[in-house]
Structure 1
């Protein structure tokens, strides 16, 4: 579907910032991860913020970690 409009994309498709509030960036063993708190002290990885492919072998989105 193509939507022809003069409105900016941010007004047509507003971002849901409620999910972003519960996420934070942490550094674990030199690897920056974006995590979301699941339970007290237990976090779920949302994104791996690294360009090193070997970091993706150790950490992956959806994985549960504690720190």
Structure 2
């Protein structure tokens, strides 16, 4: 089986008790991001999944940035 994806192997085939269990994919302002929850409504961007090059140049969607999602 061959998977053509940009996702790391650990996300597709997660190991038990890994750091990937704390991560999830969200859409923030129309941009797909992998985030990790740090506080109640606060998330830290781990990875940008967008295919638009302009989203990579925008510092708002850079890994390490904090975003706030209302639930």
TM norm structure 1: 0.70
Give runs of ≥4 in structure 1 deviating > 3 Å: none
> What is the CA RMSD across the aligned residues, in angstroms?
1.5
Structure with bigger gyration radius: 1
Partner of 1:45: 45
Whether 2:56 is the aligned partner of 1:64: answer: no
Compare the two structures and name the one with the higher strand fraction: 1
- Structure 1, unmatched stretches of 5+, are 1-14
After superposition, the C-alpha distances for 1:8-42 in whole angstroms (9 at most, x for unaligned) are: xxxxxxx6752000000001121100000011110
Equivalent position SS for 1:32: strand
Compare the two structures and name the one with the higher helix fraction: 2
Over 3 Å counting, the alpha-carbon distance change for 1:18 and 1:52 in structure 2 is same
How many corresponding residue pairs?
53
